[in-house]
Amino acid sequence: MLSAIWETEGLQTVGIVVLVFASIKLLHLLGLISFSEDSVEDELELSTVRHRPEGLEQLEAQTSFSRKELQILYRGFKNECPSGVVNEETFKDIYAQFFPQGDASTYAHFLFNAFDTDHNGSVSFEDFVMGLSILLRGTIQEKLNWAFNLYDINKDGYITKEEMLDIMKAIYDMMGKCTYPVLREETPRQHVEVFFQKMDKNKDGVVTIDEFIDCCQNDENIMRSMHLFENVL
């Protein structure tokens, strides 16, 4: 699927697809995609973790997950991350396992920063489920806001051409040689040039959140990619 997208739809669509696809990989590693039929406790078990998450009721109100889903998500999260938080090196290790044919470290860095909403160097269970809720069950507007935040590397409210190129190069490096036909080195920059010009409507050299959302909402391929993983959980 991804190889066809590289060739026919451009890197802007791949960026959206890989954003969600990488999150699904994280779920798979944590053992959270296949729900167990085992009974779960009524409240989150907090006795052995360094970071204590918010109560179930608050997380249920803030996300699109049910109480039982949150319990199961937390069980899996705590299983793999006993401290209750994930650091950047763990993210890099995860993507290195799932993309051994390439170098996923830079993309994992960008994705980690997008999940680390309070920028404290770690992703808590709350950070994880809030982001996951948006990526899997959020509205189109919420998903695009989240994607904009990923591309806005320095978090100044704008996407520059270089920021978009950095993300696309990171995706290219992560995919390695698994695309067909194999991309030329200059391909990411060529795609970014075309798509950036399309997004930057007032030609001021930066893309605002409104420009980003408007352009994506009018792109049929990107809109299709928004629905690819809606039924994973």
Write the CATH number for 94. 1.10.238.10
Per-residue pLDDT, 19: 54
pTM above 0.85, yes or no: no
| pLDDT tens readout for residues 47-75 | 344 455 557 788 999 999 998 888 888 88
Q: Is residue 42 part of a domain?
A: no
Q: Which range among 9-13, 32-36, 102-106 has the greatest average pLDDT?
A: 102-106
- What is the average pLDDT across 111-139? 89
* pLDDT, mean of residues 97-125: 88
Burial class (CB in 10 A: 0-12, 13-18, 19+), 77: buried
Q: Which residues have CB under 8 Å from 54's CB, separation 6+?
A: 126
Domain count of the fold of the chain: 1
38 within a domain of the structure (yes/no): no
Instruction: Name the band, by pLDDT with cuts 50, 70 and 90, for residue 3.
Output: very low
Q: Which stretch, 80-84, 175-179, 190-194, has highest mean pLDDT? A: 190-194
Q: What is the mean pLDDT of residues 96-114?
A: 88
- Three-point CA angle 80, 109, 115, nearest 5°: 65
Residue 22 lies in a domain: yes
Mean pLDDT value across residues 127-132: 89
Enclosing domain of residue 104: 13-27+55-232
Residue 36 lies in a domain: no
Checking if the pLDDT of 7 tops 60, the result is: no
Residue 35 lies in a domain: no
Residue 176 lies in a domain: yes
State the pLDDT at residue 191. 80
Mean pLDDT (the chain) is 76
Decide if 189 is inside a domain. Answer: yes
- Indicate the pLDDT class of residue 184, thresholds 50, 70 and 90: low
144 in any annotated domain: yes
